Amino acid sequence: MVRRFGAIVVNASLGCREQVNITTGTDSVPYLISDEIFATKALITERCRQILKRTPDGCSIDEAGAEFLFSLFLHHDEWAEKSKGGVSELSTQTTIHGTRCFVIRSQSGAEIDISFPHAVRLRSAQVLSGFLTELWEQDRNLAQDLLDSALEQPAVVVFLPALHSAAQLDERGIERLKRALSSGRVEVGAYRSLAFGGITNHLVGASLKDLLLLIADQLDGFDVALEILCMRLFSDRSAHRAHEPKVLEAGRELLQRVTFGKNINKRVNRQLADVVKASLTTPDSFRIAAELAARLKHAVAMYETRWVGNDSLLKALLVSQPVVVLEALFAGEEKDERVAVSMFYRTHGRRGDLADSISCEALIAWCEGDRERRYSLATSIITFACHPEASGPQIWSEQAKTLLANAPDPKRVLTVLIGRFRPMRWSGSRAALIEANAQLLNSLELEVSLASYSS
């Protein structure tokens, strides 16, 4: 029996796969790159040139451009090798010949060029995907058989993760992908294609969890698993679907495997924050949040990483589990407290930015755990003043007023606040800033007597 789909011909006997011959015209199959369809290779090339044009040498590719390029470079036959060790970001450079190209910046800071024309030329996975998309609608059993056969074809198996964009990923597909990964014949980087095109959107949570943890167990697999999970979480939010419990379990499992290094990948940091926001909101997840915060603090104390660059993750932890995260950050001796205070100061260049995400109720709940010590500590990390109107006067922040109102010794809290009136970093006149801060004392509307304070 002969089945013809466009320029692709499948020869099968009695519904059983016998052999597959694929022939295509020059540009007969449209291209799917990062959820976007391109009619020709020329249009893909033009998009790459636009990204090159708007990105100066040495600068990071913007988020939209990076997502497109990541999806495109998955079709580069050297992508697995060039991306080994993890990709921190994509950038651009001008070669010694005067031409411009894209650059992969690894987690270690090393850079290697990558050719987008070479990625555009490779179209075997695109052709097969176009064929499988139509075959899936006509005969799903035959499509499954063809995908199974890819496991035995070295030239095709490397494209197996990408080919699943053409067929609905199900239990059979998951087992196929797990076999391919465990066999060592497919680089773990190829599985990044599962993050695009909504491939995992309707996959059962337990199956996705198993696959993600297997990917994360591979060398350089953690970032790949994290990106796939984040795209599933994003798709769920966009479709107003509740996250499946097993998907959130996968998030908690990945968070327990996080390691911190000197080369901080801001993209990964934002993805970790997304996972924290989704999976660490229940009361029974406080232990994971506390352990993650403690590991980050330890890594900073040992100079293995820096607070700067980990700010998205820290903020998400403080929003999701503020009390236990504060306890973990400020646990230990006085030197440990100084490390934690420096975190709030250095992450954005001024104290308070991170603490702004902590509700007044959570802040007081933490302070009440050790009233003599924590009220002063909390006062040292919050934003103590704000401008409700751009041109209006400065007023006390709600956190500052709440701490003064609840502290067992308001004068001690006020002493810390006044000590912060002299900024360590500033622009413009420092004297004017000190004077503006001092004016706050005139509007103190709490039962704190300045007369008794001065005495």
Q: What is the pLDDT along the chain (455 residues), one digit of tens a residue?
A: 333 333 334 444 333 344 443 333 344 456 767 767 787 888 899 999 999 999 999 999 998 899 899 888 887 878 877 887 778 889 999 987 788 999 998 877 788 999 888 887 655 566 677 778 888 888 999 999 989 998 988 878 888 888 887 788 899 999 999 999 999 988 898 898 898 878 899 899 999 999 999 999 998 899 999 999 999 999 999 999 999 999 999 999 999 999 998 777 788 899 999 999 999 998 889 999 999 999 999 998 898 988 878 889 999 999 999 999 999 999 988 888 888 888 887 654 444 578 898 999 999 999 999 999 999 999 999 988 887 777 778 889 999 999 999 999 999 999 999 988 887 766 777 787 788 788 888 777 544 544 344 44
Q: At a CB cut-off of 8 Å and minimum separation 6, what does 123 contact?
A: 29, 31, 41, 75
pLDDT at residue 452, rounded to an integer: 44
- Count the residues in the chain: 455
Give me 246's structure tokens: 């097993």
The whole-angstrom separation of Cα 264 and Cα 260 is: 8
pTM: 0.74
Q: How far is CA 334 from CA 2, 326, 338, in A?
A: 78, 15, 6
Report the chain's terminal Cα–Cα distance, integer Å.
100
Per the CB < 8 A criterion, the answer to whether 188 and 224 are in contact is yes
Per the CB < 8 A criterion, the answer to whether 285 and 299 are in contact is no
Give me 244's structure tokens: 């499946």
Per the CB < 8 A criterion, the answer to whether 269 and 313 are in contact is yes
Burial of 65 (0-12, 13-18, 19+ CB in 10 A): buried
The whole-angstrom separation of Cα 117 and Cα 76 is: 9
Domains of the chain: 2-28+123-167 (no CATH), 31-121 (3.10.450.40), 378-455 (no CATH)
Per the CB < 8 A criterion, the answer to whether 170 and 206 are in contact is no
pLDDT at residue 283, rounded to an integer: 84
Max alpha carbon distance in the chain (Å)? Answer: 100
CA 55, 309, 317 angle in degrees (round to 5)? 130
